[in-house]
Amino acid sequence: MTLRFLTAGESHGPRLTVIVEGLPAGIPVDGAALDRDLARRQGGHGRGARSTRIERDHAEISSGIHEGRTTGAPVALVIENRDFANQPEERPPITTPRPGHADLAGRWKYGLDDLRVVRERASARETAARVAAGGLARALLREFGVEVGSFVLSFGILSADVPPLDDLDDDGLLRLAATAEDDAVRCPDPRASEAMVAAVDAARRERQTLGGTFAVFAAGVPAGLGSYVQWDRKLDGRLAQAVCSIHAVKGVEIGPAFDVAARPGASAQDPIERDGQELRRPTNRAGGLEGGVTNGAPLVVRAAMKPLSSVRVAARSVDLASGEATDPPFVRTDVAAVPAAAVVGEAMVAWVLAEAITERFGGDRLDLMRAALDAAGDAWLPRGTR
């Protein structure tokens, strides 16, 4: 294990804490850049009052950075929960589990009768801490020319009209992400975005929630990260785990995997072509990974997020205190958080790539990692990765 992070904190507790360990020394860290990512995660049409009006996430760095650079020591980051100040002293126990949430699982697993205790830790508020950790991973990746971005592809039944992602190179993907950056739902197709905003408003009126899909990509990825030799070293599997661990994400796809599954083999691969002294791949159906190893093409991961489980319409359940059938109490929530999940997806993909880069090039010192990257030449590197 080269890199690791651990988060702690409850959704309505005083603060979230994350400790990041294993970062090489020498990475320039810009606190304002971490906060920009935290703000990106808070946004997106469909977020509720807490995210948009109460919280103003800021990562307080309390260790591991000296004169703006990592030292090799653990980096501790703290994010205040401003909503903590609004919590009443006494909060009645919750005994009716909400379907789709971790409530019932928490009772079974930890014997917690007050399901509020489960909710507090299982809440997606925790993803703020992940984005802070991901910001450090991103700072490392930037030193290697790797950029991670994202955009929303669908909201409910509405889909963005974008070119097939397997036809796009780094620049094409970066352009889509730039278009999505200022969009209300982080969608690169303005027409679809308008309809998505209206769909969120309609869902809010109908007391419903919406899910959707998003893409996360990495541009400028060096070839040769990951491994094909063992299941837990394969980068596709590690990316799938990382992205699927995001709250409400139930599916992950590398490249156009589900579409490719329906094609005959010859049109499901990316031919290897010679281009002068370099190799090029005219398509990216593999999503940037062959054999669990990066192949120099952009890394493209898509994820499906289920609609948030806190709906305000009848959601049948059982009160575990009385045994009676009932609806769970409604708790304030977002209508949709697909744009936020996309930003969390960036953090998770950045994290896995930072791990893979430190594994390949050594994880103690940035200068030695750079030298190792320069030494890792090959007569037949993919185009643009020399």
- In the complex, which residues of this chain contact ligand EPS (CB under 6 A)? 11, 48, 50-51, 55, 83, 123-125, 128, 331-334
Considering beta carbons, is residue 44 or 188 the nearer one to ligand EPS? Answer: 44
Cα distance between residue 191 and residue 161, in whole Å: 9
**What would the two tokens of residue 224 be?**
């040769």
Considering beta carbons, is residue 131 or 141 the nearer one to ligand EPS? Answer: 131
Q: How far is the CB of 295 from ligand EPS (least distance, A)?
A: 35
Q: How far is the CB of 50 from ligand EPS (least distance, A)?
A: 4
Considering beta carbons, is residue 95 or 294 the nearer one to ligand EPS? Answer: 95
Q: 10 Å Cβ neighbour count for 59?
A: 24
Among 130, 81, 43, CA closest to 340: 43
Q: How far is the CB of 279 from ligand EPS (least distance, A)?
A: 43
Considering beta carbons, is residue 175 or 332 the nearer one to ligand EPS? Answer: 332
Q: How far is the CB of 85 from ligand EPS (least distance, A)?
A: 13
Contact by Cβ (8 Å): 95, 308: no
Cα distance between residue 259 and residue 167, in whole Å: 14
Q: How far is the CB of 161 from ligand EPS (least distance, A)?
A: 29
Considering beta carbons, is residue 50 or 138 the nearer one to ligand EPS? Answer: 50
How many Cα atoms occupy the beta-carbon half-sphere of 341 within 13 Å? Answer: 35
Q: How far is the CB of 99 from ligand EPS (least distance, A)?
A: 14
Among 217, 200, 157, 226, CA closest to 335: 200
Contact by Cβ (8 Å): 298, 218: yes
CA distances to 75, 101, 103, 121, 219 from 7, rounded to whole Å, are 12, 20, 20, 10, 27
Considering beta carbons, is residue 2 or 309 the nearer one to ligand EPS? Answer: 309
Q: How far is the CB of 265 from ligand EPS (least distance, A)?
A: 42
Cα distance between residue 174 and residue 150, in whole Å: 9
Cα distance between residue 49 and residue 333, in whole Å: 8
Among 76, 100, 65, CA closest to 307: 100
Cα distance between residue 299 and residue 239, in whole Å: 10
Considering beta carbons, is residue 186 or 238 the nearer one to ligand EPS? Answer: 186
Torsion, Cα 343 214 169 383, to 10 degrees, reads 70
**CA 95 to the chain's CA centroid:** 31
Considering beta carbons, is residue 330 or 380 the nearer one to ligand EPS? Answer: 330
Query: What is the DSSP pairing of strand 69-70 with strand 147-155?
Result: unpaired
Q: How far is the CB of 141 from ligand EPS (least distance, A)?
A: 24
Q: How far is the CB of 114 from ligand EPS (least distance, A)?
A: 16
Considering beta carbons, is residue 295 or 310 the nearer one to ligand EPS? Answer: 310
